[in-house]
Structure 1
Amino acid sequence: MEDSMFEFNFLDKRVQRTKSDLYNAFFELLRHRKYDHITIKDIVEVAGYSRGVFYKHYKKKEDLLNEIIEYLFREARKAQREPYKDLESIDVKKLINEPIYLLRHFKKFGFCYQLLLNENINGPFSLQLSQEMMSTYLNDFKMMLLDDYENSINGTLNKYYAYGLMGLIIEWIIEDFPKEPEDFSDELVRVFKYSLGKIQIK
């Protein structure tokens, strides 16, 4: 991974470099051992820092992991919302490749997501990821059926599409991106067009 993968533009440049190095060290270690077997000593040795530098930013390694996950989720939310800025609704029939922003995010950070989704991390990260993206969808979108005759099922419909989409994306990540983001985006758009009319932006 390159340092530029993680950006902390709102922080002092020295802090940016430190966090980026600690993130990279964490994932490098996670490639070879389970999370429970990684120590703070391991992280700082790989990153090239002292324990004091680590403790300046985190109390324990769980704080580093949680910050990394929140960083990824924050970037995912930004990517998800990028094509829908300033819109009130989306005509699904006119979708082109809007999922591409989110898919490019997952491909960019694919190394990180793959390691977090494997068995080296205790806890169901896949469920955590699904719930995070479902929350974003439910907060931002209201799916509309083609004939829109049964509004009472819209809540269920929203969850159906959110979980379905994330299931497909997680499978795509785990299988090491068998399709390019552009091709997968086109496929998802065709799925949406098949069954939806409009998506209302909340």
Structure 2
Amino acid sequence: MSTIDRRIIRSQEAIKKAFVELMSEKNFDHITIQDIADRANVNRRTIYLHYMDKFDLLDKLIEEHIKKLREICETTSDMEILNGSPGWFEYFERHYSFFSAMLASKGSPSFRSRFLELVVEDLKNGYNIREGKNPGLSEDVILQFFGTACVGAVEWWFKNEMPYPPQVMEEQMITLLDSMEKLPQFSE
């Protein structure tokens, strides 16, 4: 088992932090590798040792956070969250800089679409949605409707500087999503 040099880890963390800070300050298109290097206090070559370009850096950051959110989905049930286990909103709060930068007007459309895919996947795996249960309502439409609503609620939470604590948001989102399973029953 190989261990990664702590200097490499520190450099990568400094690069990521600098990049997220810059994303919150200006449009992605206007961020240069030199900006990132200056902010991270590393040289450009150090960035290129780890990332092909700023697009690769963004993709790797997005993938890192999506992977962690997916792990939370897979390892934590709604009941555990309601009983105080950390869920998505606590993770969002711990990584406020990244998520607020990604979901703000200057953010990354690719993050929003990846996040929506994850939410829809989680809804599909975690909730009882069947086309036959509600004739005339397509599973795809239901998933997109509730998925987009979830993403919109998260965006609202960040744009309003987290007006409710993470646990309150978790509880309210779970209650709303549970109502999805209680859509009116139509006789067939």
What is the TM-score of this pair, normalised by structure 1?
Answer: 0.73
Matched, 1:35 2:20: no
Does the CA contact (< 8 Å) of 1:137 and 1:158 recur in 2? yes
Structure 1 stretches lacking a partner, 5+ long:
1-9, 85-89, 198-202
Task: Tell me what 1:3 maps to.
Answer: none
Task: Tell me what 2:186 maps to.
Answer: none
TM superposition shift of 1:153:
4.3
Q: Which amino acid aligns with 2:170?
A: S
Does the CA contact (< 8 Å) of 1:35 and 1:121 recur in 2? yes
Q: Quick check: which one's helix share is greater?
A: 2
TM superposition shift of 1:41:
1.0
Pick one of 5, 18, 23 that aligns with 2:16: 23
Does the CA contact (< 8 Å) of 2:88 and 2:170 recur in 1? no
Deviations 1:101-138 (A, max 9, x none): 11111121122111112233464643342123223433
Whole-angstrom distance in 2 between the partners of 1:48 and 1:95: 41
Does the CA contact (< 8 Å) of 1:100 and 1:185 recur in 2? no
Q: Which amino acid aligns with 2:88?
A: L
Give the paired residue count.
177
Pick one of 97, 102, 107 that aligns with 1:111: 97
Stretches of 4+ aligned residues off by more than 6 angstroms: none
Task: Tell me what 1:4 maps to.
Answer: none
Whole-angstrom distance in 2 between the partners of 1:170 and 1:111: 13
Pick one of 40, 52, 56 that aligns with 2:49: 56
**Change in 2 beyond 3 A, CA 1:161/1:186:** same
Task: Tell me what 2:67 maps to.
Answer: 74
Task: Tell me what 2:162 maps to.
Answer: 177
Q: Which has the higher contact order (CA 8 A, sep 6+)?
A: 1
What is the TM-score of this pair, normalised by structure 2?
Answer: 0.77
**Change in 2 beyond 3 A, CA 1:15/1:135:** farther
Does the CA contact (< 8 Å) of 1:142 and 1:158 recur in 2? no
**Change in 2 beyond 3 A, CA 1:52/1:160:** same
Q: Quick check: which one's strand share is greater?
A: 1
Does the CA contact (< 8 Å) of 2:90 and 2:166 recur in 1? yes
The correspondence of residues 1-202 of structure 1 with structure 2, limited to 5 A, is 11-84=4-77, 97=82, 101-121=87-107, 123=109, 125-138=111-124, 140-144=125-129, 149-150=133-134, 153-196=138-181
Does the CA contact (< 8 Å) of 1:126 and 1:170 recur in 2? no
TM superposition shift of 1:100:
5.0
Whole-angstrom distance in 1 between the partners of 2:74 and 2:82: 13
Structure 2 stretches lacking a partner, 5+ long:
183-188
Q: Which amino acid aligns with 1:112?
A: F
**Change in 2 beyond 3 A, CA 1:155/1:118:** closer
**Change in 2 beyond 3 A, CA 1:33/1:194:** closer
**Change in 2 beyond 3 A, CA 1:33/1:142:** closer
TM superposition shift of 1:195:
4.7
Whole-angstrom distance in 2 between the partners of 1:181 and 1:164: 17
TM superposition shift of 1:12:
4.1
Tell me the percent identity.
19
State the SS of the aligned residue for 2:82.
coil
Does the CA contact (< 8 Å) of 2:127 and 2:181 recur in 1? no
